[in-house]
Amino acid sequence: MLVVACIKQVPDTTQVQIDPVTNTLIRDGIPFIINPYDSHALEESLRLKDSHGFKAVALSMGPPNAEATLRKALALGVDRSILLSDRVFGGADTLSTSNVIAAAIKKLGEQEEVGIVFCGKQTIDGDTAQVGPGIAVRLGYSQLTLVDRIEKIDIVNRTIVVRRKLEGRYEVVEARLPAMITVVRELNRPRYPTVPMRLSSAKAQVECWSNDQLQLDVNSVGLKGSPTWVSRIFSPERKEGEIIGDGISDPVGAASLLLDRLVDGDMLAV
Amino acid sequence: MELTLFTALLTVSLATFAFSCYRRLSLVTVGRSEHRFDRPVDRLKEMLVYAVGQKRVVSRPFGLNHGIIFWAFLVLALANLEFLVSGIAPALSFALLPAPLHGALLLLFDACSLAAFAAVVIAAVRRTAWPPFDGARTFEAYFILSMIAILMLAYFGLNGVRIAQGVLPSTSATPVSNLVAGLLQATPAAAHLETAGNIFWWIHAVVLLGFMNFLPYSKHMHILTAIPNVFLRSMGKCNTQERETFLEGNSFGAATLEQLSWKDLLDSFSCTECGRCQQSCPAASTGKQLNPRQVIHALKENLLKNGGVMAKLSGDRAAERQISLIGSGENGSTRDAALWSCTSCGACMEVCPVFIEHLPKIVKMRRHMVQMEATFPVELLNLFENMEQRSNPWGMAPSERSKWSSQLNLRPFEAGETEYLLFVGCSGAFDARNKQVSVALTRVLDAAGVSYGVLGKEEKCCGDSVRRLGNEYLFDQMAKQAVQQFVAKGVAKVITQCPHCFTTLKNDYRQYGLELEVIHHSELINDLLKTGRLKTDGSGDVGRVVFHDSCYLGRHNDVYDAPREALTMATGREPLEMGRNRGNAFCCGGGGGRMWLEEHEGTPINRNRVQEALAQQPEMICVSCPFCMTMFEDGIKELTGTNAQVRDIAEVVALSLQPSLLPPSSS
């Protein structure tokens, strides 16, 4: 049985800056990282591999350079890493992205039964939290979002019990397999790759699937299959801060100066 | 009859002794190869100073006592040689020598035997009343002392009998033996001198040969291995770790004997169990699991249990059979928590009288845990990810690295245009408190007209913490990038304000073919003050200042005087010293990657050191390292009743500068 982790390579948002003229992200020289929530999805798939004997597959849609992230997944221990990359997939919104990923999972399912698909609860670049649910809907899988604990997996009866972390409460849910699960950070603590695994993953094969393999209608993928698009991106303006007082030699004075400033600016009002 | 018996006994004893030594010492060949025979003349010199001269041994209380036993034994080796030779060939003895020489030798032997006997008694009293560490009162220890005492007594008894019999001349040359002779003659034993002589002779013979055969199986083995161990010591400072080659199929770090070097294994046979390492260890002395003596002892235990098996088997079969060096703390293993407690301060190696290298072994075992098992304290996951992705320990955006200097108008480093690269370091660039040190340092440098530039946002973490924590793979990547960057920019001279950057750029990057002239800011400031390029107006007196040595500046790189001299010039008075200072300084607790780990066990190391500093009733504690700064500031916050401030040396000097020389303030 397969467990699929959907992972996305995202620009390290702490380092992203926006081009003030074109209103687009300046991606030059910005390192890419695995979407932090996805690293927990990946970790959980590896844990199921260890505990239940699932075969773990990492899946990512993105440009060819997303291979680096998939290679890292191999270093962490997934059995297969598959990159979904094609020019026609470019410019995709969440709908057409989920079309492509769902098609890939379906194709995987033709070879071996898919039990669980893990996604991060959202990505740190798009922040939509829509792709996971989109995949579930398109595949007809149970949809379990915001999961922070897997309570039980019953492979014989094809059921799963999970705990969802909601605002102010938990919800324990039982569902049928196959299921799509989006995960929160509290689910687990991601592992760190061993050096032998890093070295062997450097040579391992990251499979690349284009639309030749998936055979999707080009009008349902990429920009053409996207009913939404980003029209403008900008960072909110923020005034330059200032240093007041001298916290080292006069911490008391600095604190009272700060307090005065806050009171004057009416910033302490409740 | 007796002659035959003794000849047989001696032959058997020598054979079993040789066999025991061979069997034990050959175990070290299980270890990897390591070249330790370069610079033989220097090695000999070191051996004479530290092994024969006992330089480190005598530097501590009761060390002189050991020195006396050791030197006495060197002399008595001659007497014992004569004893053994004349045992099988009675005609051959020192009596053949000219009388004055013979007399002199007898006096020497008499005096040395007395000295050794007295020292052994003192040692026994000391071990009983003031044991060097808990658990030092072992049967083995007292047994060894008793053996030596019996040898000395038997020697006096034998010589006393010979004098009483008139075999040896009764001269003033042998006062103790004469005394014994007198005593013998005054007792009924006088009638049985022959028998008494025989008894003393046989006691001496049996104890000597028995003791010799006991040596290889006891901690007293060090009398065979310690001297060669000093000869084979690391000739440079043991302030870096060796590189690893990252090829598939290699194993990384050490969890088994064959992953250590033969010298690592020889170290374990050289340990005298004096306990000095654990007394000086900041982890051991604040209740952590780490005990450097135990790490070495566990290695020896492991070697004795596994070494024989290892030597016979090979490959996977050997691997299956052996007990890991990292484990429960039993059976020749060290607990992982102990290995993670090490601050890499180097105090253990600084005090070890026989130059055992503890730190490289600890880092090797950490390397195994990080690189082969990916097991480490949870806090380190973020650290490693942050270092790998953003090249700083906190995961701050690299674009923020130059923010501290946004109002300072610093020059970018350019070869030819700027003399020095000011390598700010992660703490100096990101940590709120240490950013103030960076600003103070630039003021000092500007006041002295030093030509320097910075890398700004392009600067990356040097990788010190990840290397000491055992993530050599990541360090290797970071070092390669840094070296490439330095070479491309033509960097030759570097100022660092962090001793960790200092040692890494200076000592670790050398392994990557980069020879930099690295100077710590305290050294540079001292030079600037001495040469008059930096002038103080004497207004820098900030009261009582106590100076804390950073391990990586002091112990690991021998910079002790520069910060003290600079402080003296800047403040007009010599800094106060803590009880443990310079080479014996106590770590702040932040080295070896401990800066990024919680301190769950025992009492905080920084509190221990802060209290030691406060005992001098200072108005200011002066540090020269950003980690020490953080550890002291954190430690002092927890204590009440003190107004002492923690300042970096650059800040103290900046305070003392003539205001007219200061560049316009940025704030």
B442-492 tens-digit pLDDT = 999 999 999 999 999 999 999 999 999 999 999 999 999 999 999 999 999
The answer to whether residues B435 and B400 touch, using CB atoms and an 8 Å cutoff, is no
How many CA atoms are closer than 13 Å to the CA of B339, on its beta-carbon side? 30
B216: confidence class by pLDDT, cuts 50, 70, 90? very high
Tell me, yes or no, whether A102 and A181 share the same domain: yes
Chain A nearest C-alpha distance from B240 (Å):
21
Residue A226 in any domain: the answer is no
Which of B473, B645, B655 would best serve as a mutation to test chain A binding (most A beta carbons within 10 A)? B473
Query: Percentage of chain A with pLDDT > 70?
Result: 96
Residue of B nearest to A202 (CA): B248
Domain that holds residue A207: 2-220
Q: Which amino acid type is present at position B441?
A: L
CA–CA separation, A121 and A37 (whole Å): 6
Cβ distance A15 to B395 less than 8 Å, yes or no, reads no
Q: Kindly state whether residues A164 and A43 are assigned to the same domain.
A: yes
| Residue A270 sits at the chain B interface (C-beta within 8 Å) | no
pLDDT of B47 strictly over 50: yes
| pLDDT over 70 at B291, yes or no | yes
Tell whether A154 and A50 lie within a shared domain: yes
Predicted ipTM of the assembly: 0.89
B396 to chain A: closest CA residue: A14
Q: Give domain status of residue A225, yes or no.
A: no
Q: Of the candidates A33, A192, A203, which has its C-beta nearest B374's C-beta?
A: A192
A22 in contact with B at a CB cutoff of 8 Å?
A: no
Look at residue B660 and tell me whether its pLDDT is greater than 60.
no
The answer to whether residues A25 and A11 touch, using CB atoms and an 8 Å cutoff, is yes
pLDDT at B323: 83
A57-75: average pLDDT: 95
Q: How many residues does chain A have?
A: 270
Q: Tell me: do A208 and A259 sit in the same domain.
A: no
d(C-alpha B288, C-alpha B329), whole Å:
13
- Is a pLDDT exceeding 90 seen at residue A233? no
- CA A147/CA A187 separation, integer angstroms: 7
* B436 contacts in chain A (CB < 8 Å): 248
* A76 and A173 assigned to the same domain: yes
| A106: CATH | 3.40.50.620
Residue A121 near residue A183 (C-beta atoms within 8 A) = yes
CA quadruple B645, B647, B649, B652: dihedral positive or negative?
negative
Q: Does domain B2-229 have CATH number 1.20.950?
A: yes
Range with the poorest average pLDDT among A190-199, B181-190, B378-387? B181-190
Q: Give the whole-angstrom CA distance, residue B606 versus residue B44.
A: 40
Say whether both A159 and A105 belong to one domain: yes
- Judge: A12–B399 Cβ closer than 8 Å, yes or no: no
Contacts of B199 (CB under 8 A, 6+ apart): B157
Q: Does domain B257-373 have CATH number 2.30.30?
A: no
List CB contacts (< 8 A) between B637 and chain A.
none
Q: Percent of chain B at pLDDT above 90?
A: 80
> What's the average model confidence in pLDDT over B327-334?
91
Beta bridge partners of B418: B415
Residue B444 has phi, psi (to 5 degrees) of: -65, -45
Structural domain total, chain A: 2
Residue that wins the pLDDT comparison between A20 and B431: B431
Are residues B620 and B542 in contact, defined by beta-carbon separation less than 8 angstroms? yes
Q: How far is CA B161 from the centre of its chain?
A: 48
B397 touches chain A (CB under 8 A): yes
A30: left (phi over 0), alpha (psi -120 to 50) or beta: beta
Element (H, E) at B347: helix B347-351
The CA distance from B231 to B41, in Å, is: 10
Closest C-alpha among B232, B231, B363 to residue B295: B363
Specify the domain boundaries for CATH 1.10.1060 within chain B. 257-373
Cis bond upstream, residue A251 (ω within 30): no
Q: Which residue of A has its CA nearest to B435?
A: A248
The token pair that represents B41 in the structure block: 């003349």
Asked if B399 lies within 8 A of A17 by C-beta distance, the reply is: yes
pLDDT at B316 exceeding the cut of 80: no
DSSP letter for each residue of B539-554: TT--S-EEE---TTTT
Q: What is the tens place of the pLDDT at every residue in B114-150?
A: 999 999 999 999 999 999 998 899 999 999 999 999 9
Distance separating alpha carbons of residues B220 and B271, to the nearest angstrom: 9
Q: What is the pLDDT of residue A213?
A: 95
- Is the distance from CB of A53 to CB of A29 less than 8 angstroms? no
- Based on the domain organization, do A176 and A268 belong to the same domain? no
| A198 token code pair | 């890093």
A235 touching B, CB under 8 A? no
What would the two tokens of residue B183 be? Answer: 């005593």
Check whether residue A55 and residue A97 sit in a common domain.
yes
A192–B395: do the CB atoms touch at under 8 Å?
no
What integer is the mean pLDDT of A194-200? 96
Question: For residue A41, what is the DSSP state?
Answer: H
A164, part of any domain: yes
For the segment B640-667, the average pLDDT, to the nearest whole number, is 75
Residue B661 has pLDDT above 60, yes or no: no
Instruction: Say whether both A152 and A270 belong to one domain.
Output: no
Nearest to B476 by CA among B367, B365, B390, B341: B367
User: Quick one: A178 and A82 in the same domain?
Assistant: yes
What mean pLDDT value characterizes chain B? 92
Q: Are residues A71 and A186 in the same domain?
A: yes
pLDDT band at A239 (very low <50, low <70, confident <90, very high): confident
Flag whether A201 is in a domain. Answer: yes
Inter-axis angle of helices A67-76 and A195-203, nearest 10: 130
First to last CA, chain A: 55
Nearest to B372 among A191, A195, A246 (CB): A195
Residue B667 has pLDDT above 50, yes or no: no
Question: Is the residue at A99 inside a domain?
Answer: yes
| Span B244-271, average pLDDT | 94
Q: Do A169 and A210 belong together in one domain? A: yes
**What is the maximum span of chain A, computed from C-alpha positions, in angstroms?**
71
Q: What is the pLDDT of residue B666?
A: 40
pLDDT tens-digit series, residues B537-579: 666 678 899 999 999 999 999 999 999 999 999 998 999 999 9
More confident residue, B427 or B541: B427
Which helix (DSSP H) or strand (DSSP E) does residue A207 occupy?
A: strand A207-209
Q: For chain B, where do the domains classified as CATH 1.20.950 start and end? A: 2-229
Q: Is A190 in Cβ contact with B381 (below 8 Å)? A: yes
